Amino acid sequence: MDSLTIILTTIILHKLTNALDTATICNNDNACKCINNTVSCTTLAQDGVFVLPNGTEIVHFDNVPITIINNSTFANGKLQKITWVASKIKFVEALNHNDLKYLDLSRNNIIKLSDDIFYNCPCLEYVDLSDNQLNILSDNLFLHSSSLRTINLEKNIFNSISKNLFKHTINLQNLSIGNPNLTFLDENAMTNLYKLEYLSIENSGIRNLNQSSFGVHIYLYSVILNNCTHLTSIDNNFIGSSSNIKIIELNNCGTIESLPSSIVSLKNLQYLQMSNTQIQPNCQNGWFSQWFNNETTTVVGYEKYSNFIKTLNEINCPPTIYYTNSPITLQLTKKGIINCMAYGNPFPAFTWLIPGGLTFHENKQADVDIAHHPNIHNWDLNQIVSQSLLTDKNGSLHILRMLRTHIGNYTCYVSNKYGNSSKTVEVHLDSGVFFNIKINALLLGISSALGFLMLTILCCALKLLLKRLNCMKKRSQPTETEMGSTEKPKILPENV
Ligand SMILES: *[C@@H]1O[C@H](CO)[C@@H](O)[C@H](O)[C@H]1NC(C)=O
Ligand SMILES: *[C@@H]1O[C@H](CO)[C@@H](O)[C@H](O)[C@H]1NC(C)=O
Ligand SMILES: *[C@@H]1O[C@H](CO)[C@@H](O)[C@H](O)[C@H]1NC(C)=O
Ligand SMILES: *[C@@H]1O[C@H](CO)[C@@H](O)[C@H](O)[C@H]1NC(C)=O
Ligand SMILES: *[C@@H]1O[C@H](CO)[C@@H](O)[C@H](O)[C@H]1NC(C)=O
Ligand SMILES: *[C@@H]1O[C@H](CO)[C@@H](O)[C@H](O)[C@H]1NC(C)=O
Ligand SMILES: *[C@@H]1O[C@H](CO)[C@@H](O)[C@H](O)[C@H]1NC(C)=O
Ligand SMILES: *[C@@H]1O[C@H](CO)[C@@H](O)[C@H](O)[C@H]1NC(C)=O
Ligand SMILES: *[C@@H]1O[C@H](CO)[C@@H](O)[C@H](O)[C@H]1NC(C)=O
Ligand SMILES: *[C@@H]1O[C@H](CO)[C@@H](O)[C@H](O)[C@H]1NC(C)=O
Ligand SMILES: *[C@@H]1O[C@H](CO)[C@@H](O)[C@H](O)[C@H]1NC(C)=O
Ligand SMILES: *[C@@H]1O[C@H](CO)[C@@H](O)[C@H](O)[C@H]1NC(C)=O
């Protein structure tokens, strides 16, 4: 009896443990595949707890509907990657996965994320919450997520980005936030994202891109603004403070009232895409007509350019300087160009005031006040001939041979009958070369000094030697006066 019970219980127990062992999600043969540490399920109907094989690291669910993800959704597993898409998820509570690096919950119906969703995920690097129904983003959402590299919040319904949302995600490189309801970016909303490389605000309802929201992003290379149909202005400094931008996509954006002329200063720009986007023909955007024709720049798909230029040419514009390469540093005796790019209609006169007081004119007939001036003159309007400086038709000043006297502030003044404007360019001397020259001079000084010393020593030694020889000679035939005068030198050589 006793042994039978024991045997029976063992069998039952064994069956139970077996059942427990095998009761993982992997039993759903046709919906799930479990290979190595990865569990992939497609079109699986199961609610509640998902028991994973021990040691599962990667979960990939597609169309596995659930309403809420919470602390007890996954049993077992040390999850590093969770992909759970197109599954009608509505709520997500705290994810307690210490090793989680990657989370993709896109294409669900998420309307609410618990504030502490990521508090216990210190390793999180990638979050995709795009294509959901999020309308509020808590300031604390990424409070403990400083490891994040990529955040995708596209295609939700939130209206704004607060200044605190990305305050702690200082390692972020890739950010996508566009949605049609997004119209407001707080001041400083992105100023902490020093490492940002890729920024997409496409498909959003934003009107102005203000520098105050962005700050300085020296690594930013891609700015995606496609389909921002309400966009009218982009701050000059927004582009200007991210000097390494390579790609700007501005397709399908309606009419831009003010396109930032700082685009001209982007040395690494590969292309500016502008299909089905227009620039309003106004004086502020006039620079674009000069830049567009520059063969080194690539504007992709500005179909309406001829309309733009036609209307622009009919508008009288006072000149504005849109680009100077200030400050500039030149090497001694080398040549250099000081740029002053200006747009005005009619094309303006350029006047350069250079250190030392000389004045250079180019295209001076555009301004009646200076039309009678000599091309190059001094304070008294006396014509001067310059060997080392000249101007060209585009308004640039060329320094043919950099000298110390060329250091200083150069003022570019542009004028036509509708107005004038000016900017100052600082010209410096390459301090590296300057330093080298100084060092070289110093070395030369030292070596000459040493040489001189050596010569002196040699000379003295020779002199003393001679004198000694002289003395020895004289010892044989000493004279009263010579003895007295050579007494000291006679001792010295013996001590040397
Ligand atoms: C599973 O892991 C083994 C060894 O770690 C590896 O050789 C194999 O390719 C993996 N299989 C798959 C499908 O990843
Ligand atoms: C987690 O959510 C399920 C519903 O999916 C619910 O039954 C369960 O009580 C929740 N557990 C916790 C700890 O909130
Ligand atoms: C996982 O491991 C635990 C012990 O660490 C064990 O109790 C449990 O039965 C295992 N589950 C599966 C599904 O293997
Ligand atoms: C979540 O579950 C873990 C253990 O799985 C537990 O340590 C933690 O306290 C739980 N957190 C919450 C908020 O329930
Ligand atoms: C950033 O994300 C976008 C789309 O989400 C992708 O196309 C791009 O390659 C990513 N860039 C980097 C640097 O990860
Ligand atoms: C988002 O925009 C749509 C259409 O413009 C509007 O109907 C909806 O109310 C907006 N939602 C929110 C949360 O602002
Ligand atoms: C940009 O600044 C203007 C005022 O200068 C303000 O009206 C607008 O809302 C700001 N835009 C954004 C996106 O913050
Ligand atoms: C552009 O935005 C509109 C609405 O804002 C949307 O319907 C359309 O699909 C978007 N186009 C692209 C190419 O994303
Ligand atoms: C053309 O563009 C390049 C790079 O932006 C610039 O260095 C050059 O001066 C431009 N030329 C003219 C004539 O504007
Ligand atoms: C002036 O600019 C035009 C293009 O706008 C260019 O072709 C020309 O080479 C430039 N001239 C000088 C002297 O740089
Ligand atoms: C040039 O101008 C700057 C400020 O614009 C000034 O600090 C500097 O002293 C000036 N340099 C000379 C040589 O006048
Ligand atoms: C330059 O323009 C200002 C107005 O912006 C005007 O007051 C001034 O007289 C102009 N200077 C010259 C020399 O035309």
What pLDDT, in 10s, does the model give residues 59-108? 999 999 999 999 889 988 899 999 999 999 999 999 999 999 999 999 99
What is the CA 215 to chain-centroid distance, rounded? 10
User: For ligand 6, which residues put their CB under 6 angstroms from it?
Assistant: 135, 157, 159, 180-181
Q: Which residue has the higher pLDDT, 221 or 460?
A: 221
Residue 184 CA: nearest ligand 7 atom is 13
**Which ligand is nearest the CA of 355, by number?**
11
Tokens of 249: 């996509």
Cα–Cα distance, 379 to 364 (Å, whole number): 17
Closest CA to 352 of 283, 428, 415: 415
Residue 158 CA: nearest ligand 6 atom is 13
Q: Which residue has the higher pLDDT, 19 or 255?
A: 255
**Which ligand is nearest the CA of 38, by number?**
1
Cα–Cα distance, 413 to 370 (Å, whole number): 12
Q: Across residues 196-216, what is the average pLDDT?
A: 94
DSSP 373-403: S-SEE-TT--B---SSEEE-TTS-EEESS--
pTM: 0.81
**Per-residue DSSP letter, 230:** T
Kindly report the number of other CB atoms within 10 A of residue 391's CB atom.
22
**Which ligand is nearest the CA of 40, by number?**
1
Letter for the amino acid at 495?
N
The percentage of the chain sitting over the pLDDT mark of 70, rounded to a whole number, equals 83
CA-proximal residue: ligand 6, atom 3 (nearest)? 181
Q: Are 239 and 262 in contact (CB under 8 A)?
A: yes
Distance 419 CA to ligand 12 centre (A): 6
Distance 179 CA to ligand 6 centre (A): 10
Which of the given ranges, 166-170, 297-301, 477-481, has the highest pLDDT on average? 166-170
Cα–Cα distance, 189 to 165 (Å, whole number): 7
The percentage of the chain sitting over the pLDDT mark of 90, rounded to a whole number, equals 69
Which of the given ranges, 81-85, 251-255, 487-491, has the highest pLDDT on average? 81-85
Alpha-carbon distance values, 331 to 124, 380, 390, 448, 454 (Å): 49, 31, 18, 27, 36
Q: Across residues 35-44, what is the average pLDDT?
A: 93
Q: Which residues of 41-62 are buried (b: 16+ CB within 10 A; e: fewer)?
A: beebeeeeebbbbeebbbbbbe
When mean pLDDT is compared across 103-112, 349-358, 407-416, 440-449, the lowest value belongs to 440-449
Categorise residue 139: left if φ over 0, alpha if ψ from -120 to 50, beta otherwise: alpha
**Which ligand is nearest the CA of 397, by number?**
10
Distance 271 CA to ligand 9 centre (A): 14
Q: What is the pLDDT of residue 91?
A: 96
Residue 426 CA: nearest ligand 11 atom is 1
User: For ligand 5, which residues put their CB under 6 angstroms from it?
Assistant: 152, 173-174, 176, 197-198
Q: Which residues of 281-316 are buried (b: 16+ CB within 10 A; e: fewer)?
A: bebbbbbbbbbbeeeeeebeebeebeebeeebeeee
Q: Output the furthest CA–CA distance in the chain (Å, rounded).
A: 146
Residue 1 has pLDDT above 70, yes or no: no
Which of the given ranges, 11-25, 117-131, 258-272, 377-391, has the highest pLDDT on average? 117-131
User: For ligand 7, which residues put their CB under 6 angstroms from it?
Assistant: 184-185, 206, 208, 210, 213
Cα–Cα distance, 348 to 393 (Å, whole number): 10
Helix (H/G/I), strand (E/B), else coil: 313: coil
Cα–Cα distance, 324 to 343 (Å, whole number): 12
**Which ligand is nearest the CA of 111, by number?**
6
Helix (H/G/I), strand (E/B), else coil: 243: coil
Residue 376 has pLDDT above 60, yes or no: yes
Q: What is the pLDDT of residue 483?
A: 39
Alpha-carbon distance values, 446 to 432, 439, 442, 443, 450 (Å): 21, 10, 6, 5, 6
Distance 350 CA to ligand 12 centre (A): 14
Q: Across residues 247-257, what is the average pLDDT?
A: 93
Question: Binning pLDDT at 50, 70 and 90, where does residue 430 land?
Answer: confident
Question: Binning pLDDT at 50, 70 and 90, where does residue 42 land?
Answer: very high
Q: Which residues of 212-247 are buried (b: 16+ CB within 10 A; e: fewer)?
A: ebbbebeebbbbbbbbbeebbbbbbbbbbbbeebee
Distance 297 CA to ligand 9 centre (A): 8
Q: What is the mean pLDDT of the chain?
A: 86
Cα–Cα distance, 273 to 250 (Å, whole number): 5
CA-proximal residue: ligand 9, atom 5 (nearest)? 264
Closest CA to 171 of 154, 188, 151, 185: 151
User: Computed over its alpha carbons, how large is the radius of gyration of the chain?
Assistant: 39
Residue 264 CA: nearest ligand 9 atom is 5
Cα–Cα distance, 201 to 483 (Å, whole number): 102
Letter for the amino acid at 12?
I
